[in-house]
């Protein structure tokens, strides 16, 4: 069914792949930033550059969408998908820029764990977007959606439990305020992964 109705123009899928590559790259640099715990400005600049490159891909996709009469999937789905992908990278960049702005004295181990969960989530999103091109494995896409949702729950738990611990143990209120904001942005990025998963799941269910 999918092959019969899908036009051969793969422009959108090619650029979805390019965009999700930037997402994985940006989140990987965010992880490096937290692991090193120094040179915040250098890492933040790298993530910002990657985020800007992602924005350029988004603009190309949206411009092509406005000029294309027949699209491989519903144009509203394309718009929601590209905006959802863009939001993942935007929130990851928001986390890195706040780390640079706040210059925290130390990196909680849980923050590194949360960033690892985000990295795992975006890698699953990458696999999902790749599979969307030909929809040869719809069941795998649905399985990825479930796993991304599970990771979002895990990320939310890490954020909440970390803040609870810091409220008990952290003597410097300024550090607590810093990490409350940073952790929220990292966890929010996993929320956006879940949003992309739900959009993709809807596309799969509509076309299978």
Q: What is the CATH number of the domain that holds 77?
A: 1.20.58.220
Q: Tell me how long the chain is.
A: 208
pLDDT bracket for residue 98 (50, 70, 90)? very high
Q: How far is CA 201 from CA 118, 176, 197, in A?
A: 19, 37, 6
Range 77-99 average pLDDT: 97
Q: Could you tell me the residue range of the domain that residue 91 belongs to?
A: 9-207
Q: Pick the closest to residue 196 from 155, 137, 147, 136 (CA basis).
A: 147
Mean pLDDT of the chain: 94
3 belongs to a structural domain: no
- What are the distances in angstroms from CA 159 to CA 4, 27, 37, 88, 117? 45, 17, 19, 17, 11
- Split at pLDDT 50, 70, 90, the class of 2 is very low
Q: Residue with structure tokens 């910002």? A: 48
In-domain check, residue 134: yes
Residue 206: band (very low, low, confident or very high) from pLDDT cuts 50, 70, 90 = confident
Structurally, how many domains does the chain consist of? 1
Percent of the chain with pLDDT over 90: 87
pLDDT exceeds 50 at position 3? no
CA distances 111 to 4, 115, 142, 180, Å, are 46, 6, 29, 11
| 90, part of any domain | yes
Residues 141/200, Cβ–Cβ less than 8 Å = yes
What pLDDT is recorded for position 13? 94
Q: Enter the pTM of the model.
A: 0.94
Burial 107-146 (b: 16+ CB within 10 A, else e): bbebbeebbbbbbbbbbbbbbbbebbeebeebeebbebbe
Output the six-digit token pair for 116. Answer: 């690892």
Q: Would residue 4 count as lying in a domain?
A: no
* pLDDT over 60 at 155, yes or no: yes
Q: 188 lies in a domain?
A: yes
37-64 tens-digit pLDDT: 999 999 999 999 999 999 999 999 999 9
Maximum distance among all Cα pairs of the chain, rounded to whole angstroms: 63
Asked if residue 1 is part of any domain, the answer here is: no
pLDDT band at 8 (very low <50, low <70, confident <90, very high): low
2: in domain: no
* 189: in domain: yes
Residue 170, pLDDT score: 87
Query: Residue 104 has what DSSP assignment?
Result: -
Overall average pLDDT of the 69-75 stretch: 89
């Amino acid at each position: 069914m999918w092959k019969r109705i899908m036009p051969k123009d793969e422009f959108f899928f090619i650029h979805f792949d390019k965009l999700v590559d930037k997402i994985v790259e940006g989140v990987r640099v965010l992880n490096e930033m937290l692991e090193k715990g120094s040179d915040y400005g250098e890492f933040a600049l790298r993530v910002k550059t990657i985020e800007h490159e992602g924005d350029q891909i988004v603009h190309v996709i949206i411009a092509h969408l406005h000029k294309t009469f027949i699209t491989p999937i519903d144009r509203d789905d394309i718009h929601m998908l590209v905006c959802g992908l863009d939001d993942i990278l935007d929130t990851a960049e928001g986390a890195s820029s706040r780390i640079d702005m706040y210059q925290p004295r130390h990196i909680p181990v849980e923050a590194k764990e949360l960033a690892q969960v985000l990295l795992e989530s975006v890698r699953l999103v990458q696999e999902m977007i790749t599979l969307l091109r030909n929809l040869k494995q719809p069941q795998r896409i649905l399985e990825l959606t479930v796993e991304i949702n599970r990771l979002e729950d895990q990320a939310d738990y890490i954020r909440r439990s970390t803040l609870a611990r810091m409220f008990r143990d952290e003597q410097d209120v300024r550090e607590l305020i810093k990490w409350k904001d940073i952790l929220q942005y990292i966890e929010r990025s996993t929320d956006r992964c879940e949003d992309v998963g739900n959009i993709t799941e809807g596309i799969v269910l509509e076309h299978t």
